[in-house]
A and B are shown apart, each in its own frame.
Chain A
Amino acid sequence: MSGEARLEILTRINRIGAREQEPLERRPVRPSTRPRAQIVEQFAEYAAEYRANVRRLAAAEVPGALRDLLLARGSERVAVPQDLPAGWLPGGFAVTRDEPGVTDLTAVQTVVTGAALAVAETGTVVLDHGPGQGRRALTLVPDHHVCVLREDQVVDNVPEAVARLRGSVLSGRPLTWISGPSATSDIELSRVEGVHGPRVLDILLVREG
Chain B
Amino acid sequence: MSAGGIKPARPFQQAARVTLANPQMRRNLRHATTTIREKRLRAVAELPDWEALRDEGAALKDHVMAHLADALLDLEAAVQARGGRVHWARDAAEARGIVADIAAAHGAREVIKVKSISTDEIELNAALAERGIHAIETDLAELIVQLAEDRPSHILVPAIHRNRAEIRDLFRRKLGAELLTDEPKQLAEAARLYLREKFLTTRVAVSGANFAVAESGTVCVVESEGNGRMCVTMPGVLVSVMGIEKVLPTWQDMAVFLRLLPRSSTAERMNPYTSFWSGVTPGDGPQEFHLVLLDNGRTDVLADEVGRQTLRCIRCSACLNVCPVYERVGGHAYGSVYPGPIGAILTPQLLHLEDRNANTLPWASSLCGACYDACPVKINIPEVLLYLRGKITEEKPLSAEAIAFKTAAWVMSEPHRFEGAIKLARSGQGPLVKNGAIHALPGMLGGWTEARDLPAFPPQTFREWWRGRPAPQPRETDGQAQTSEGELLAPQRGDRGPA
Contact = CB atoms under 8 A, between A and B. Distances in A.
Contacts of B195: 196
Contacts of B196: 196
Contact of A187 (B52, B188, B262, B272): B188
B466 interface: no
A182 B224 contact: yes
B74 interface: no
A137 B283 CA distance: 11
A119 B164 CA distance: 35
Contacts of A50: 272
A103 interface: no
B225 A195 contact: yes
B68 interface: yes
A174 B185 CA distance: 31
Interface string A6-24: 1011101111101101001
A185 to B, nearest CB: 7
A186 interface: yes
Contacts of B200: 106, 141
A190 to B, nearest CB: 5
Contacts of B73: 10
Contacts of B59: 24
B77 interface: no
Interface in B78-110: 82, 87-90, 94, 98
Task: Specify which of A15, A158, A172 lies most central, judged by the most chain B CB atoms within 10 Å of its CB.
Answer: A172
Interface residues of B, number: 90
B363 interface: no
A97 interface: no
Interface in A1-50: 1-2, 5-6, 8-10, 12-16, 18-19, 21, 24, 26-27, 29, 46, 50
A135 interface: yes
B184 A162 contact: no
Contacts of A137: 233-234, 284-285
Interface residues of A, number: 68
A12 B270 contact: no
B256 to A, nearest CB: 8
A95 interface: no
B293 A9 contact: yes
Contact of A182 (B28, B273, B284): B273
Contacts of B229: 136, 140, 176, 196-197
Given A13-B302, A124-B270, A163 B185 contact: no
Contacts of B303: 12, 15-16
Contacts of A73: none
A46 B196 CA distance: 29
Contacts of A46: 269
A140 B138 CA distance: 15
A179 B269 contact: yes
B3 interface: no
Interface in B240-290: 244, 251-256, 258-259, 262, 266, 268-279, 281, 283-285
Contacts of A29: 252, 255
Interface of chain B, main secondary structure: helix
A12 B184 contact: no
Nearest to A23: B63
Contacts of A26: 56, 60, 252-253
Interface stretch (B139-147, B440-448, B456-464): B139-147
B432 interface: no
A8 B154 CA distance: 33
B33 to A, nearest CB: 10
Contacts of B144: 186-187
B72 A197 contact: no
Given A100-B284, A174-B284, A174-B285, A188 B164 contact: yes
B216 interface: yes
A19 B302 CA distance: 11
A89 interface: no
Nearest to A126: B274
A57 interface: no
B47 to A, nearest CB: 8
A86 B254 CA distance: 35
B358 interface: no
A113 B352 CA distance: 51
A181 B158 CA distance: 22
Contact of A196 (B163, B164, B230, B269): B230
B255 A181 contact: no
Interface in B199-229: 199-200, 213, 215-216, 218, 224-227, 229
A102 B297 CA distance: 46
A84 interface: no
A188 B164 CA distance: 7
Given A9-B293, A136-B285, A188-B164, A183 B224 contact: yes
Contacts of B69: 10, 13-14
Contact of B63 (A18, A21, A197): A21
A27 B63 CA distance: 14
A106 to B, nearest CB: 7
A187 B283 CA distance: 36
A174 B276 contact: yes
Nearest to A5: B88
Contacts of B82: 172
Interface string A164-188: 0110011011111111111111111
B438 interface: no
B98 A2 contact: yes
A189 B31 contact: yes
Nearest to B82: A172
Contacts of B313: none
7 contacts: A16-B302, A135-B285, A136-B229, A159-B252, A162-B258, A172-B82, A177-B274
The 5 A-B pairs at the shortest CB distance, nearest first, are namely A197-B226, A196-B226, A122-B270, A182-B226, A12-B299
